[in-house]
Amino acid sequence: MESIRVVICGDEGVGKSSLVTSLVKEKFVPNIQHVIPSINVPRDFSSSPYSPRSTMLIDTLSSDLSSLQEEIRRADVIWLVYSDHYTYERISLYWIPMFRSMGVNLPVVLCNNKIDLDSGSDENEGVINEELIPLLKEFKEIEACVRCSAKELYNVNQAFYLCQRAVTHPIAPLYDYKESNLKQLAINALARVFYLCDKDQDGYLSDAEFLSLQQKCFHKTMDINELQLIKSTLQGALPGAADSRGITEEGFLALNKLYAETGRHETIWGILRTFHYTDSLSIDDKVLYPKLDIPTNSSVELSPKGYKFLVDLFLLFDKDNDGGLSDDELKHLFYPTPGIPTSWQESNFPRTVVCNEQGYVTLQGWLAQWSMTTYLNYRTTLVYLGYFGYEDKSVSNKTGSTTTSALYVTKPRKMRKRNGVPYRASVFDRTVFNCFLLGAPGCGKTSLMESFLGRHYSEYYSPTIQRNIAVNNVELTGGKECYLIVEELGELESAILENPTKLEACDVICYAYDSSDSESFQYLIDLRKKYPALDTLPVVFVALKADLDRQQQRCDLQPEPFTRSLNLQPPLHISSGWASSLSELLNHLVLAAYNPKETTPGLDPEPSETEGVLNPFAIGCGAIGFMFVVSVWYLRGSFGNGHR
pLDDT at 402: 82
Q: Residue 575 in contact with residue 546, Cβ under 8 Å?
A: yes
Q: pLDDT tens for residues 282-296?
A: 999 999 999 999 999
- The stretches in the chain having pLDDT less than 50 are 45-46, 121-123, 126, 399, 609-622, 628-630, 632-644
Phi-psi region for residue 12, left (φ > 0), alpha (ψ -120 to 50) or beta? beta
**Alpha-helical segments (H) within 169-223:** 184-197, 207-218
Q: Is 420 helix (H, G, I), strand (E, B) or coil?
A: coil
Closest C-alpha among 176, 175, 162, 13 to residue 78: 162
Q: Is 345 helix (H, G, I), strand (E, B) or coil?
A: helix
Which one-letter amino acid corresponds to residue 427? Answer: V
Q: Residue 329 in contact with residue 438, Cβ under 8 Å?
A: no
Closest C-alpha among 464, 511, 459 to residue 488: 464
Show the domains of the chain with their CATH numbers. Answer: 3-168 (3.40.50.300), 181-282 (1.10.238.10), 298-409 (1.10.238.10), 418-598 (3.40.50.300)
Q: Residue 151 in contact with residue 118, Cβ under 8 Å?
A: no
Closest C-alpha among 550, 539, 543 to residue 571: 543
Rounded to whole angstroms, the Cα distance separating 606 from 615 reads: 20
pTM: 0.85
Closest C-alpha among 305, 286, 292 to residue 406: 305
pLDDT at 128: 55
With the C-alpha atoms ordered 431, 432, 434, 437, is the resulting torsion angle positive or negative? positive
Rounded to whole angstroms, the Cα distance separating 644 from 364 reads: 8
pLDDT at 533: 93
Q: Residue 539 in contact with residue 599, Cβ under 8 Å?
A: yes
Instruction: Tally the residues of the chain.
Output: 644
Sheet holding 481-488, edge to edge: 468-475, 481-488, 432-439, 508-514, 539-544, 572-573
Closest C-alpha among 57, 55, 56, 117 to residue 85: 117
Q: pLDDT tens for residues 432-462?
A: 999 999 999 999 999 999 999 988 765 555 5
Q: Which residues contact 456 (CB under 8 A, 6 or more apart)?
A: 450
Rounded to whole angstroms, the Cα distance separating 216 from 226 reads: 17
Q: According to the 3-state scheme, what is the secondary structure of 131-155?
A: HHHHHHHHCCCEEEEEECECCCCEC
Q: Backbone phi, then psi, for 611, in 5-degree steps? A: -105, -25
With the C-alpha atoms ordered 554, 468, 618, 296, is the resulting torsion angle positive or negative? positive
Q: Is 246 helix (H, G, I), strand (E, B) or coil?
A: strand
Rounded to whole angstroms, the Cα distance separating 542 from 95 reads: 80
pLDDT at 129: 58
Considering only CA atoms, give the Rg of the chain.
Answer: 34
Count of beta carbons in the 10 Å neighbourhood of residue 467: 16
Q: Residue 309 in contact with residue 385, Cβ under 8 Å?
A: yes
